[in-house]
Copies of this chain bind each other. A is one copy, B any other.
């Protein structure tokens, strides 16, 4: 009962203050989903308030979706529904956004590079040259593994020919890579480990395979190894899914030490590692040298998944994976069952684009352009959100992961709604946890869809909403 105690101020109606207090308890999980709230009489006595004040506070909680009244039984806290409701509302927002119906917003939710910098003329040139060279041949199904020359080219340009090109499988984007690897490897009730927080698109896939998902917190240089070892001691683990650079959403990159330790653990405990290398082309910090975990992998423990959205085109859906020999057949079958094969013409176009080294110029350009935005946004956050958020600059990638400081009493879902009203879109942290109520103190903002001008405007709006909210819903210490 003690948690319901609060000091009232004179600025607002008492029922509003009580409502805000209870809502904040529900948000922070200090009142659990489904927990019965005190009866009206009980709470009125405890807080020395008129019953009408309690009734009005409870009514407002109901109206806002934070409580349910069950006739003859009482009032119950409602939590998860609001998150489910939020997820629905979030996804509708993005359907509108992607269909161009929200074109004037400041979109900080972008997950990938923008096509703006892409040299359309280069693409036209390779498409035409491929069609002239190969004719109808370019339009038929490929080898299940993908266009052979493209696999050779990947081996040459990214792996110094150290792989066997028949170990490379072309997929329709990294998301498909995660999906087909899961279908090949993960069965009902298999134990798998993910980082906490992690990429929501991967979480959904693992949930859909009905796997048991263990989450291990992420630290500044990668996953918490001690927490991981505790799980490994007690459970037979099938695989560990992680992102080696600029982890989504935490923006953490793995130290080489942690990469090597993880490989040792995989060998010792006989599990496999899915490395999602989704953004390593964009390293702005010159002291960081790129090396994938796959490149350390002597015992064939790593399934490496790579997207080409960055070096090629975001909307074109081509990526590849490199898979331990032991899974080769099952992963190939899984690919066939998923979509037979990846668009053949685009594979040939990509091969030629790589052969002509257009991609190197393109990546250089992206690094210049995005580093500019990165630096600008970092400074803006430091200057304008300093008192409202905490964060670690990632040194690369396309986004920042911000933690709301304690003085901010709204959670990131509320922040999402309030910002959306003002034309700014952010991604609340709740998207990245197995239990959605975690991550409410976090939100992600990315700069791939916004230039410096929009970044400044957007951060200004976030800043003004946060300082406003810190004042209005500020609940005095109790």
Contact = CB atoms under 8 A, between A and B. Distances in A.
Interface of A: 91, 94-95, 98-99, 112, 114-116, 118, 120, 123-124, 127-128, 131, 135-145, 148, 172-173, 175-176, 179, 183, 188, 201, 204-205, 208, 210, 313-317, 333-334, 336-346
A101 to B, nearest CB: 9
In order of increasing CB-CB distance, the 4 nearest A-B pairs are A315-B344, A115-B136, A176-B339, A115-B139
A175 B338 contact: yes
A316 B340 contact: no
A342 B317 contact: yes
Most buried by B among A140, A341, A345: A140
Contact of A140 (B143, B315, B337): B315
A131 B128 CA distance: 12
A219 to B, nearest CB: 28
Contacts of A333: 91, 204
Contacts of A201: 336-337, 340
Contacts of A140: 114-115, 314-315
Given A118-B139, A128-B128, A173 B337 contact: no
Nearest to A179: B338
A175 B144 CA distance: 14
A276 to B, nearest CB: 14
Nearest to A206: B337
A346 B118 CA distance: 17
The number of times this chain is found in the oligomer is: 2
Given A136-B116, A141-B314, A172-B317, A343 B346 contact: yes
Contact of A338 (B135, B176, B316): B176
Contact of A340 (B91, B138, B173): B173
Most buried by B among A137, A316, A338: A338
27 contacts: A94-B144, A95-B145, A99-B143, A115-B137, A115-B140, A120-B135, A120-B138, A127-B131, A128-B128, A138-B315, A139-B315, A139-B316, A140-B315, A175-B338, A175-B340, A176-B338, A176-B339, A188-B188, A204-B333, A204-B337, A208-B337, A316-B343, A317-B340, A317-B342, A317-B343, A338-B338, A343-B343
Contacts of A188: 188, 210
A345 B139 contact: no
Contacts of A343: 172, 315-317, 343, 346
A345 B317 CA distance: 10
A327 to B, nearest CB: 15
